[in-house]
A and B are shown apart, each in its own frame.
Chain A
Amino acid sequence: MNLPPFVLHQPLTIDEAVATFAQHPGEADWLAGGTDLLPNYKWRLNAKPHVISLHRVEGLRDLTPTHIGAMVTLRELEGSAELQARLPVIPATARQVASVLLRASGTLGGNLMLENRCFYFNQSEHWRRSWEPCMKAEGDRCHVVPQQELCYATFSSDMAGTLCALDATAQLLGPQAGREVPLQELYLFDGIRRHARTPGELLIGVRLPECAPTWRTGYRKLRLRGSWDFPELGVAISIQIVDGALSRLRIVLNALEQAPRSLDSVTKPYVGGPLSDQAIEELAAASFERARPYRNTSFPPHYRRKMVPVFVRDLLRHLRDS
């Protein structure tokens, strides 16, 4: 399976990379680890004529508990002693992404910007052309929720769930200026547009709150094969308990919809109170009500939805008692 022809750009600085992208509006893709982009290119899924490799770009590989560069590999995240000591949820989440081999190349930035996935999209060109292609590929109709307005491809990044629960901030640099935006707000519930990025903006890293190590944070992943697979459901929860009362509670459901969903309206009434067994049961039930999986991955949506309260209950108890 050959890659389609493209022009390869290998800039050395962030500014050069952004400027190169700006010269090819709508016709370029960023290449980080390549573990998501290149398989899609081999399947001729929205391949662009210009590819801008970030491998030689300086300044994208910082790794501290408060700042992680976009080109830090998932293997480096899982092996970081500093993160293991201060934010062990990040290595633990990275360890659940794909396989050892894919994590050696796959990067944090690539995982956060992962292409949304769908049963009707991630197929060979021959398969797609055997019937009407979907709107995310060459067609104009969604087959998951049949209509022509919105793509329902699922966002399957493990790291996004955990980093949203940690209130991470995305650092973006565009041709005009740089900006920081809460990671949660970067994602759109649209499987084609996917991000609230302006054209040509590059994710250069994420910033984590100084106080994040004082929180108890965990991640649970449902997948077909334990050795490696995209998530069928991800639940990330971050809590802080002060004097027996919750001073912070964030629950993020991931890999059910087009973007991670933070259940702030569900959790808000519980902040300030104790995390009792009854509160945990109520939160699990409310999370089930809020979960909206679609029929476009390996497991049926009713099963993925039923696993939401199981994971929420298990993780809340684990974090409370740890």
Chain B
Amino acid sequence: MPQSQPSFPLRLNINGDEHALLIRPYATLLDVLRDQLHLTGTKRGCDLGTCGCCTVQVEGVAVLSCLTLAAQVAGRQVTTIEGMANGDGLHPVQEAFASCGGSQCGFCTPGFIMAVSAFLESCPDPTDEQVHEALGGNLCRCTGYIKIYEAVHQAAKVLREGGVRQPLDVDHRHLIGELPPATRTDPRTHDLARLQQLHPEGKG
């Protein structure tokens, strides 16, 4: 094994905020986002570039954070799913996914949102074929993709018309509550307790 290279300081711009971090040289952007910055909206799926769950945008281009070393995005603008909404107003792509039913279990959704919003910047009025091609790297095992394709076209229409954001028909936010308190509190032996210790922000 190699001699261990010490962690080194790195400045990352995530969602417009500058972060001064100490990172391991072999840390991926996904590792840093989730484990150091606690931006857990970006999901760890296959971790091999196959599923698209970890998609983020670097300078507006959708990339896979599981196959991008954190050191390689120093000084570049990184946008994650947490940077899409504007206060309480969702991004038109988020609105479209919610109103079209483009999200079910939700695990793949952040990756889709990031891929779609980058795609629509370069292709504002896509054909079905272009949408299929653009989303070929994002897997969803729930929706069957039809609702996602509908959401893409709806979002494209809204963005073409100036990005007027429509409020959600149904407010689901009341469904998100506090995580149940861990009944066993030893993080060495209990997954939920360990997760709550790692991610104290993980509450409703």
Residues of A bordering B, CB below 8 Å: 1-8, 10, 27, 31, 33-35, 38-39, 42, 49-51, 53, 55, 75, 98-102, 104-105, 227-228
**Docked complex Cα distance between A2 and B25 (Å):** 12
Residue of A nearest to B122 (CB): A79
> Is the beta-carbon distance between A101 and B115 smaller than 8 angstroms?
yes
Q: Does B192 contact A (CB under 8 A)?
A: no
> Is the beta-carbon distance between B48 and A1 smaller than 8 angstroms?
yes
A-B CB contacts (within 8 Å), total count: 95
Residues of B within 8 A of A42 (CB): 47-48
Residues of A within 8 A of B67 (CB): 33-35, 38-39, 102, 105
Instruction: Report 12 cross-chain contacts, Cβ distance below 8 Å, ordered by A residue.
Output: A1-B47, A3-B26, A5-B26, A6-B5, A7-B2, A8-B71, A39-B49, A101-B52, A101-B115, A102-B64, A227-B136, A227-B137
Shortest C-beta distance, A287 to chain B (Å), equals 29
Since A7-B2, A33-B67, A227-B133 are in contact, a sample of 15 more A-B pairs with Cβ atoms closer than 8 Å, ordered by chain A residue number, is A2-B31, A6-B5, A8-B69, A8-B71, A38-B67, A39-B48, A53-B69, A99-B52, A99-B136, A99-B137, A100-B136, A101-B55, A101-B64, A101-B137, A104-B63
Shortest C-beta distance, A89 to chain B (Å), equals 18
Shortest C-beta distance, B25 to chain A (Å), equals 4
> Is the beta-carbon distance between B49 and A7 smaller than 8 angstroms?
no
Binary contact readout B148-160 vs A (1 if CB under 8 angstroms, 0 otherwise): 0000000000000
**Docked complex Cα distance between A4 and B28 (Å):** 11
> Is the beta-carbon distance between B68 and A105 smaller than 8 angstroms?
yes
Q: Does B86 contact A (CB under 8 A)?
A: no
Shortest C-beta distance, B204 to chain A (Å), equals 30
> Is the beta-carbon distance between B48 and A5 smaller than 8 angstroms?
no
Interface residues of B in 51-75 (CB under 8 A from A): 52, 55, 61-64, 67-69, 71-72
> Is the beta-carbon distance between A228 and B2 smaller than 8 angstroms?
no
User: Which of A5, A50, A98, A105 is the one whose CB lies under 8 Å from B4?
Assistant: A5
Identify which of A2, A51, A55, A101 gathers the most chain B CB atoms within 10 Å of its CB: A101
Residues of A within 8 A of B69 (CB): 8, 31, 34, 38, 53
Shortest C-beta distance, B144 to chain A (Å), equals 15
**Docked complex Cα distance between A39 and B61 (Å):** 21
